[in-house]
Amino acid sequence: MILKTKQLSKSFGGLKAINKVDFELPKNEIRGIIGPNGSGKSTFFNLVSGIYDSDPGSYIEFDGHDITFAPPHEIATYGLSRTFQLLRLYQDMTVIDNVMSGYHTRVPYKFFDAVIGRKKIWDQERAIKEEMMELLSFVGLADYAELNASELSGGQRRLLVLARAIAMKPKLLMLDEPAAGLSPVNVDNLMKIIMQLKEKYGLTLIIIEHILKVVMDTCNSVTVFDHGQKIAEGTPAQVKDDNAVIEAYLGKKMDDEEMRKALAV
């Protein structure tokens, strides 16, 4: 198990955004998380990556480390990387700087060496830059390396965010709606790149996605959230036929008698 949560809860005032979720994820799996808007998917990500503090009684374990109370930067050093639904691109930095800032946890030199400006530093910096340029050309952004991130198109921004999250060579990559707002062709392209990256770096993936086709086609298993609770888990085929899931997404299945009653009122 690379990620494990027990009784994970988070409430905002009276609202229980996440309510006692037990979640387990084996290595090398691609897990999809689906659920209607406001069902707690993104909150789950924020809790795991340490951006929110979870309520008392929760427990989160990542790769053997207890990260329940760890701050986000510490969790990142254990090898957990994530993207954001609203991208949070570094708009005023160049594309290459964006990707290189994702490398932070792997920077080999100490601060003091950087102040002195020894030759070693510049060698290592160049090596980092080369590696990151490779990554950029892998996702197809090498030509834009020196432009500001704000000058990229929507699809390119999604690729850049992906590259930035990969730069730290994570063990677990959590993608929050990676394909939101992309055209079908671009979605296919993006998923292809994500699969290639998974193979290349041996990643474990969690993907939140509203495009069900993407989830059903690529994920090994799917977890469904509704009102902060985990209502179903299993292979895509199992989840598709689960009554609770259909209810959450489409409404309840009714027999004729119930339907008549409902319409009469």
Q: Biggest alpha carbon distance in the chain? A: 81
Of residues 59 and 103, the one with the C-beta less far from another protein: 103
**Identified binder of another protein from the candidate list 10, 31, 41, 82, rule CB under 8 A:** 82
> Which of 88, 57, 221 lies closest to 162, judged by CA?
88
Give the gyration radius of the chain's Cα atoms. 21
The reply to whether 40 sits near another protein by the rule CB under 8 A is: no
The reply on whether position 90 binds another protein by CB under 8 A is: yes
Number of residues that bind another protein (CB under 8 A): 42
The residue (of 78 and 236) whose beta carbon lies closer to another protein is: 78
d(CA 204, CA 4): 13
Using an 8 Å Cβ cutoff, are 64 and 4 in contact?
A: no
Q: State which of residues 1, 22, 69, 91 lies at the interface with another protein (CB under 8 A).
A: 91
Instruction: For residue 148, give both structure tokens.
Output: 């500001």
Q: How far apart are CA 161 and CA 197, in angstroms?
A: 13
Between CA 18 and CA 157 the distance in angstroms is 30
Report residue 8: phi and psi, to 5°.
-70, 125
Q: How far is CA 26 from CA 110, 186, 199, 218, in A?
A: 34, 29, 16, 16
Beta bridge partners of 233: 223
Q: Is 81 in the site for another protein (CB under 8 A)?
A: yes
Q: Per-residue string for binding with another protein, 174-213, x by CB under 8 A? A: ----------------------------------------
Work out whether 103 is an interface residue with another protein (CB under 8 A): yes
* Residue from 76, 136, 141, 197 binding another protein (CB under 8 A): 76
Binding segment toward another protein, per CB under 8 A, in 58-66, 87-95, 207-215, 248-256: 87-95
Separation between Cα atoms, residue 208 and residue 226, nearest integer Å: 13
Tell me whether residue 173 or residue 232 sits nearer to another protein (CB atom). Answer: 173
3-state secondary structure (DSSP) of residue 204:
strand
The β-bridge relationship of strands 3-12 and 15-25 is antiparallel
Q: Note the Cα 176 to chain centre separation in Å.
A: 4
Tokens at residue 191, please? 């998923």
Using the rule CB under 8 A, is 85 a contact of another protein?
no
> Is residue 92 within the footprint of another protein (CB under 8 A)?
yes
Per-residue contact track with another protein, 219 to 258, x per CB under 8 A?
----------------------------------------
Of residues 126-165, those binding another protein (CB under 8 A)? 143, 146-147, 151, 164
Note whether 100 binds another protein by CB under 8 A.
Answer: yes
Point out which residues bind another protein (CB under 8 A): 49-51, 71-73, 76-77, 81-82, 84, 88-93, 97, 100-105, 107, 109, 111, 114-117, 119, 121-123, 125, 143, 146-147, 151, 164, 168
